[in-house]
């Protein structure tokens, strides 16, 4: 089975590579030292320190494998100047029901990199899907749990 392509901005890709390098060069060594110290305590059958260290090691190796797969299967998205919303675009929108709150700006990224607190929304999210392919001035309907929300695209920043 082919692994799913992971859409990342260049910044998101660099962060994954940096995290992978940290886990391999720093965390692996820390966990190995912790495991070595737990083994030195003796009787492994009743050694909770050893069990904890082994569990941490397994979790760490799983995380490393996950990052390696994401990096290997990544597609770097680059938004050029465009009059259409695309992956990597920063988009300024206004919620038409609450227009007095002013515009909000979102960047359309892949699901791996999505972080709503930083204004990065997934292309797979309802808002991301509604915005893709649209132009300035378009009004999109976003199907949310609270109902349909209408947004107007005010500006495509990149």
Whole-number pLDDT of residue 99: 73
**Given a cut of 60, is residue 1 above it in pLDDT?**
no
Domains of the chain: 6-76 (1.10.287.180), 79-156 (3.10.50.30)
pLDDT tens sequence across 42-77: 776 777 888 888 999 999 999 999 999 999 999 888
Q: Which two tokens stand for residue 5?
A: 């392509």
Confidence of residue 5 (pLDDT cuts 50, 70, 90): confident
Helix (H, G, I), strand (E, B) or coil at 24: helix
- Alpha-carbon distances of 122 from 29, 46, 52, 107, 141, rounded to whole Å: 34, 46, 35, 8, 16
Helix (H, G, I), strand (E, B) or coil at 96: coil
Whole-number pLDDT of residue 81: 67
Rounded-to-integer distance, Cα 136 and Cα 83, Å: 7
Residue 77's H or E segment, with its range, is strand 74-77
Residues 6 or more apart in contact with residue 26 via CB below 8 angstroms: none
Confidence of residue 80 (pLDDT cuts 50, 70, 90): low
Confidence of residue 79 (pLDDT cuts 50, 70, 90): low
Helix (H, G, I), strand (E, B) or coil at 80: coil
Q: What is the DSSP string of 98-130?
A: TGGG--EEEEEE-TTT-BGGGTEEETTSHHHHH
Say which DSSP state 132 is in.
T
**Given a cut of 90, is residue 129 above it in pLDDT?**
yes
């Amino acid at each position: 089975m082919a692994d799913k392509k992971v859409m990342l901005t260049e910044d998101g890709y660099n962060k994954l590579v940096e995290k992978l390098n940290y886990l391999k060069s720093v965390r692996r060594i820390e966990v190995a030292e912790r495991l070595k110290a737990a083994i030195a305590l003796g009787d492994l059958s009743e050694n909770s320190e050893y069990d904890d260290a082994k569990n941490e090691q397994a979790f760490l190796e799983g995380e490393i494998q996950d990052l390696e797969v994401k990096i290997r299967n990544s597609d770097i998205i680059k938004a050029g100047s465009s009059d259409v919303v695309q992956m990597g675009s920063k988009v300024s929108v206004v919620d038409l029901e609450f227009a007095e709150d002013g515009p909000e700006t979102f960047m359309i990224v892949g699901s791996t990199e999505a972080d709503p607190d930083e204004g990065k929304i997934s292309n797979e999210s309802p808002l991301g899907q509604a915005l893709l392919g649209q132009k300035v001035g378009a009004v999109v309907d976003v199907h949310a749990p609270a109902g349909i929300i209408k947004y107007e695209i005010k500006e495509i920043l990149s």
